[in-house]
Amino acid sequence: MKKHLVVALAYDGLCTFEFGCTVELFALKRPELDVDWYEFAICAAETGPIRAAGGFTLEVPHSLALLDSAATIIIPGWRDADELPAAALLDKIRAAYERGARLCSICSGVFVLAAAGVLNGKRATTHWRYAERLTQRYPAIKVQSDALYVDEGQIITSAGSAAGLDMLLHLVRRDYGAKIGNQVAQRLVVAPHREGGQAQFVPRPMAFDEAGKLAKLIDWLRANLAQPHTVKSIAAQSLMSPRTLQRQFQEATGLGPIEWLIVERVAVAKDLLESPHIPLVHVAELAGFGSEESLRRHFRRLVATSPGAYRQRFSNEL
């Protein structure tokens, strides 16, 4: 079977961190995963030297012609949000979209997709600094200015820099399931999962003692997901008022405490569903949903598929 070819775009003025995240995710050999891992390659968006941020120059072996055979194309942050990409690059992006390739952008890389016209009528995000500019310049795009990443199926866009890593891990989870995604995240020493709808940044700094208290609460909740929780019971556990809890949780995670719990429970359910031997009713109980009906409802809302379909796709032993 032909391997899934991931191609990263390189250009003069390359955003080094975002490009490096892409290389780290897809170029490394991962024999410990025991899956048919991606094939990875780099193509140059233009002729001439490819000078990256930080003062070094890349020797890129492939031209834009490589995009014709890519299954996934990753566009790191574009060098200048106000610079229209070359027509040759935009033509290749349109052609890749038309044949069904998956297109992904990090930070200002969304301006390449926007200029190609493939985001018209779709949701997208970018770094919060560029969101208003993207909205004004491309009104046909439904800009979600505070999302970490937005998955529209064939096109996935992410916010600035580190949010690109969240998006790339999301791609791995989509392709290989939660267990493999978690193993890759563990090797990277990063959190395995942040939903795309979480806020890009905390609106105001939290006092040190507040952050410490909330971090301990989150650790406790993760260790006790199967217990029934309400805002009132969580507030009592944290020694906060329900109003203070709601405010601090929203500021720290972009979600209220109950919605955060649901996201965490769905992540646990994904792991459990990758074993075909755990009955669905037990998955619901262990993940904290209490009933299969509740599991199905929230799973479909967040994952856009049913628990059964997810298990059929990602079970390790089917």
pLDDT digits 0-9 by tens, 27-77: 999 999 989 999 999 999 999 889 998 888 999 999 999 999 999 999 999
Give the C-alpha distances (Å, rounded to integers) separating 109 from 50, 75, 219.
17, 5, 35
Percentage of the residues of the chain whose pLDDT score is greater than 90: 68
CB 52 within 8 A of CB 82: no
Domain residue limits, the chain: 5-188, 205-318
Mean pLDDT on 227-255: 90
Mean pLDDT on 243-247: 92
The pLDDT assigned to 10 comes to: 96
pLDDT of 204 over the 50 cut: no
pLDDT of 97 over the 50 cut: yes
Residue of 202 and 187 predicted with greater confidence: 187
pLDDT of 237 over the 50 cut: yes
The 10 Å CB-count burial string (b at 16+, else e) for 273-293 is: bbeeeeebeebbbbbbbeebe
Mean pLDDT of the chain: 90
Torsion of CA 14, 16, 22, 26, to 10 degrees: 100
d(CA 91, CA 227): 53
- Domain 205-318 CATH class label: mainly alpha
Residue 195 — pLDDT band, cuts 50, 70, 90?
low
**DSSP-assigned letter for residue 69:** G
pLDDT of 290 over the 80 cut: yes
Strands 155-158 and 149-151: antiparallel
pLDDT of 259 over the 60 cut: yes
Least confident range of 11-20, 147-156, 252-261: 252-261
pLDDT of 275 over the 70 cut: yes
CB 128 within 8 A of CB 159: yes
> H helices of the chain, where?
16-26, 87-98, 110-116, 131-137, 162-176, 178-188, 208-223, 231-238, 242-253, 257-273, 280-287, 292-303, 307-314
The pLDDT assigned to 209 comes to: 46
pLDDT of 217 over the 80 cut: yes
Mean pLDDT on 233-240: 93
The pLDDT assigned to 250 comes to: 86
Least confident range of 103-107, 137-141, 190-194: 190-194
- Domain 5-188 CATH class label: alpha beta
The pLDDT assigned to 153 comes to: 94
Do 5-188 and 205-318 come out as alike in CATH topology? no
Mean pLDDT on 7-16: 95
pLDDT of 109 over the 70 cut: yes
| Closest residue by Cα to residue 149 from 162, 138, 163, 135 | 163
